[in-house]
Amino acid sequence: MLTLEKRPTPSRGWTLATPVLAVVLTMIAGGLMFALLGKNPVEAIRIIFWDPVFNTQFASYTRPQLLVKAGPLILIAIGLSLGFRAGIWNIGAEGQYIMGAIAGAGFGLAFYPSDSPLIFPGMIVAGALGGWAWAMIPAILKTRFRTNEILVSLLLVYVAEKILASAATKFLRNPEGHGFPGSRNLARIDSMNNPELISGTGMHWGVVLAFIAVIAAYVLLNRHLLGYQIKLAGQAPRAARFAGVNPNRLVVMCLGASGALAGLAGLFEVTGPAGQISIDFNVGYGFTAIIVAFLGRLHPIGILLAGLIMALTYIGGELAQLMLQIPAPAIQAFQGMLLFFLLALDVLSNYRIRIKSEGVA
Amino acid sequence: MKTFTKLMTSGLLALGLAAPAVAQDDPLQVGFVYVGSIGDLGWTHEHDQSRLAMQEHFGDAVETTYVENVPEGADAERVLTQMALSGADLIFTTSFGYMDPTNNVAARFPNVMFEHATGYRRDTPNMSTYSARFYEGRAVMGHIAGNMTESNIVGYIGSYPIPEVIRGINSAFIHARAVNPDVEFRVVWAYTWFDPAVEAEAAQALIDQGADVILQHTDSTAPMTVMQDAGVIGFGQASDMGQFAPTPRVSAIIDNWAPYYIARTQAVMDGTWESMDTWGGIGSGMVRIGEMTDAIPAEVRASAQALADSIASGEHHPFTGPLNRQDGTPWLAEGEVADDGTLAGMDFYVEGITAEIPN
């Protein structure tokens, strides 16, 4: 009979192998689901994972789009991973993303129609501050009143969504928009535009910052005292306290950093790909980034790869809808499987499977 | 390598440009982009039913495809581009939030025709816009509601406080007051187009406030379930919602896009397609009144039908003076009718509504 035996330390081999295995298992189980829906599973998997990168008809367009889609995911997930490593659970990145976009767009629109070159940098600062401030609410409530940051940060997402609806229909509404909801299109205003930096690559400032964040997080975690404290607090909270780590300071740092990065992701999205504050501006990047953070093993390089894979399933999923008429919920289930298999396979990194004979048992 | 990619791209573009010329032999490719799920039994469902009706009308001459649950903004732009790259000749985008993405993509694909529902921007000659005068249907629903309510409190589930929704509330209220001077409206804002849980809560909140007739401007059938339990009546929204007849669903406003989709597809085939704005009502068949059930007294059914007929013929405009704004300032003089510009941007209630438009 099979028994599980806890490993003294998580297996390094399995830690690296499980994400790959999870992707493979998702392909198999997803293929099965597509087959049950009456679609050709091999073709569906090929369209999702292969066509966005290599199809001659689409790839020249979809390849840069991978970066556009992955950029905010990576940026947010890097911020979240710092807290997650220290056992600080910011589930509300979606709200911080919204508030960053509103604060940044609001700053820029307050100066409309000025074309000062200082406006865009000011919007970036405002965006980071907006996300940071929204994350400070659960941080201060936690350090002062011991509230649970999971609940507070999550519920603040819904508050942020109401503020977003109000911004789109009232205080940031385009005065020349015939009364319809939505702000001015920032991507069409030169002083507020976050353009594609090199034509045909999908690179915009948000993607650039995502890459910088990956490197910065790597350096922080491996070379810096704060990174050491973050890791120690997550693995051995008591030991961390004896080592002089101030838990409150860590909460404020981690929530603040993840909030500011989520706010920046929102700012670069609203000034670039999305273009405007609208009622449905947020499309779940803040929540998907949680999956990306875990899929990437909370490791900066892993998150970079996981963000790209997640983006691939989105873009490939749209192609599969378009070409094979696979329903959207099936694509979402497919993405869900990825996290499901990853978490399930975590057993293998933390436990050893032993086969015992009946007699001994 | 880079030159090679460029060559490939321009080659593809050339192929794309050539497509309409050879379209006589190949089936015309028509794409649809939906904001919701085709199973929402409301807004998206009706667009998809109309797509299927159009497909059936043309048979093998047309191939249709769709992508559902497409978020507005950057994702919509990507889906639209992919659709255009895959060879679509005509693309319908069926949510207000697709306005900028559709115009952006239309500018890049001058030989693909784009049709955007409920928007107003037509930047390039290959962009058209279309919408329906749902407020004409609301007038009929308001007429029935004013007649049917016993508590004199009519509930209204609003999605977002935007002109489209405010127009509907005003139209329903004007026609409810016309038959029942004591009627009052209570409005609850759901801040969503489709969220069964929130919509059900909104319906319950209205029932708790004494409403015995509820109109909804959200897409799910969840309010109907609540109304059924409470013995309250309501109206199908966007779709017939006939599974809730005879009560609580006593009638419905049905979006009927099929004739428009057929006409516009035909126009592309004939080469007569032009950029235009269409705002159809009961008269053109774009708005249909769902069957009125026996739960409505016969004389009210007759007067509601007469109202619908007079709107269809153009004899009656739902916004006809004398009408004042909520604050009492005059809006329309006796006999004057509202112009489309004011209606399109309507951001005020008419006199008599006690609710406030939220900030």
Average pLDDT score over chain B: 90
Interface-testing mutation among A54, A157, A282, A322, with chain B (most B C-beta atoms within 10 A): A322
Looking at the fold, whether B35 and B158 belong to one and the same domain comes out as no
- Residue B177, amino acid: R
Residue B145 domain flag: yes
Confidence of residue A361 (pLDDT cuts 50, 70, 90): very low
d(CA A350, CA A336): 22
Looking at the fold, whether B100 and B196 belong to one and the same domain comes out as no
pLDDT for res B18 = 38
Looking at the fold, whether B158 and B85 belong to one and the same domain comes out as no
d(CA A168, CA B128): 24
pLDDT for res B14 = 40
In this complex, do A60 and B8 lie within 8 Å of one another by their Cβ atoms?
yes
Render pLDDT for A86-142 as a digit per residue (tens, 0 to 9).
999 999 999 999 999 999 999 999 998 888 899 999 999 999 999 999 999 999 999
Q: Is A57 part of the contact surface with chain B (CB cutoff 8 Å)?
A: yes
pLDDT for res B331 = 95
Render pLDDT for B32-71 as a digit per residue (tens, 0 to 9).
999 988 987 789 999 999 999 999 999 999 999 999 999 8
Q: Summarize the confidence of residues A235-248 as an average pLDDT.
A: 86
Q: What is the ipTM of this complex?
A: 0.81
Give the nearest chain A residue to B120 (CA atoms).
A178
Look at residue B157 and tell me whether its pLDDT is greater than 60: yes
Residue where a domain stops, chosen among B103, B132, B161: B132
Looking at the fold, whether B188 and B330 belong to one and the same domain comes out as yes
Question: Where are chain A's structural domains?
Answer: 1-39+327-361, 66-325
Looking at the fold, whether B43 and B116 belong to one and the same domain comes out as yes
Look at residue A340 and tell me whether its pLDDT is greater than 70: yes
Residue where a domain stops, chosen among B77, B97, B132: B132
B93 or A240, greater pLDDT? B93
Confidence of residue A170 (pLDDT cuts 50, 70, 90): confident
Q: Summarize the confidence of residues B237-265 as an average pLDDT.
A: 93
pLDDT for res A359 = 54
Q: Summarize the confidence of residues B273-291 as an average pLDDT.
A: 94
Q: Please name the member of A56, A179, A314 whose beta carbon is closest to the beta carbon of B345.
A: A179
Cβ A78 vs Cβ A210: under 8 Å: yes
Chain B residues contacting A, CB < 8 Å? 5, 8-9, 12, 31, 37-38, 65-75, 77-79, 81-83, 85-86, 96-97, 100, 119-120, 160-163, 191, 344-347, 358-359
pLDDT for res B359 = 63
Look at residue B186 and tell me whether its pLDDT is greater than 90: yes
pLDDT for res B8 = 41
Question: If DSSP codes are grouped into helix, strand and coil, which group holds residue A355?
Answer: strand
**What CATH number has the domain bearing residue B309?**
3.40.50.2300
One DSSP character per residue, A129-152 reads HHHHHHHHHHHHHHHHH---HHHH
Render pLDDT for A266-308 as a digit per residue (tens, 0 to 9).
999 999 999 999 988 998 999 999 989 988 889 999 999 999 9
Find chain A residues with C-beta within 8 A of B64's C-beta: none
Interface-testing mutation among B64, B82, B95, with chain A (most A C-beta atoms within 10 A): B82
Looking at the fold, whether B40 and B182 belong to one and the same domain comes out as no
Interface-testing mutation among A183, A189, A318, A323, with chain B (most B C-beta atoms within 10 A): A318
Residue B329 domain flag: yes
Find chain B residues with C-beta within 8 A of A325's C-beta: 65-66
Cβ B341 vs Cβ B335: under 8 Å: no
Give the nearest chain A residue to B345 (CA atoms).
A179
Render pLDDT for B7-38 as a digit per residue (tens, 0 to 9).
444 444 444 443 444 444 689 999 999 998 89
Q: Please name the member of A170, A273, A328 whose beta carbon is closest to the beta carbon of B68.
A: A328
In this complex, do A281 and B69 lie within 8 Å of one another by their Cβ atoms?
no
Looking at the fold, whether B103 and B149 belong to one and the same domain comes out as no
Residue B354 domain flag: no
Find chain A residues with C-beta within 8 A of B77's C-beta: 273
Task: Give me the domain span that covers residue B36.
Answer: 16-132
Least confident residue range of A148-157, A235-244, B103-112, B231-240:
A235-244
d(CA A312, CA A69): 9
pLDDT for res A322 = 87
Residue B170 domain flag: yes
d(CA B262, CA B259): 5
In this complex, do A180 and B71 lie within 8 Å of one another by their Cβ atoms?
no
Looking at the fold, whether B121 and B205 belong to one and the same domain comes out as no
In this complex, do B67 and A166 lie within 8 Å of one another by their Cβ atoms?
no
Looking at the fold, whether B215 and B292 belong to one and the same domain comes out as yes
A199 or B307, greater pLDDT? B307
With CA atoms as reference, report the closest residue to B171 among B259, B282, B294: B282
Residue B313 domain flag: yes
Q: Percent of chain A having pLDDT more than 90?
A: 60
Q: Percent of chain A having pLDDT more than 70?
A: 98
Residue B262 domain flag: no
Give the nearest chain B residue to A63 (CA atoms).
B78
Q: How far is A48 from chain B (nearest CA, A)?
A: 13
- For residue A113, whether the previous peptide bond is cis, meaning omega lies within 30 degrees of 0, is yes
Look at residue A20 and tell me whether its pLDDT is greater than 90: no
Residue B38 domain flag: yes
Q: Summarize the confidence of residues A59-79 as an average pLDDT.
A: 94
Looking at the fold, whether B206 and B298 belong to one and the same domain comes out as yes
pLDDT for res B1 = 38
Interface-testing mutation among B3, B64, B72, with chain A (most A C-beta atoms within 10 A): B72
Q: Is A201 part of the contact surface with chain B (CB cutoff 8 Å)?
A: no
d(CA A150, CA A138): 8
With CA atoms as reference, report the closest residue to B95 among B35, B48, B47: B35
Number of structural domains (chain B) is 2
pLDDT for res B15 = 41
User: B232-240: which pairs have CB atoms within 8 A and are 24 or more residues apart?
Assistant: B232/B207, B233/B148, B233/B295, B234/B203, B235/B141, B235/B144, B235/B290, B236/B290, B237/B42, B238/B42, B238/B43, B238/B45, B238/B46, B239/B41, B239/B42, B239/B43, B239/B45, B239/B46, B240/B290, B240/B291
Residue B267 domain flag: no
Q: Summarize the confidence of residues A41-49 as an average pLDDT.
A: 93
Render pLDDT for B197-241 as a digit per residue (tens, 0 to 9).
999 999 999 999 999 999 999 988 999 999 999 999 999 998 899
| Domain A66-325: CATH architecture, name and number where available | Orthogonal Bundle (1.10)
Least confident residue range of A221-225, A241-245, B318-322:
A241-245
Looking at the fold, whether B161 and B109 belong to one and the same domain comes out as no
Average pLDDT score over chain A: 90
pLDDT for res A5 = 83
Q: Summarize the confidence of residues A186-213 as an average pLDDT.
A: 90
In this complex, do B97 and A182 lie within 8 Å of one another by their Cβ atoms?
yes
Looking at the fold, whether B82 and B141 belong to one and the same domain comes out as no
Residue where a domain stops, chosen among B114, B132, B150: B132
Look at residue B128 and tell me whether its pLDDT is greater than 70: yes
d(CA B96, CA A279): 11
Confidence of residue B276 (pLDDT cuts 50, 70, 90): very high
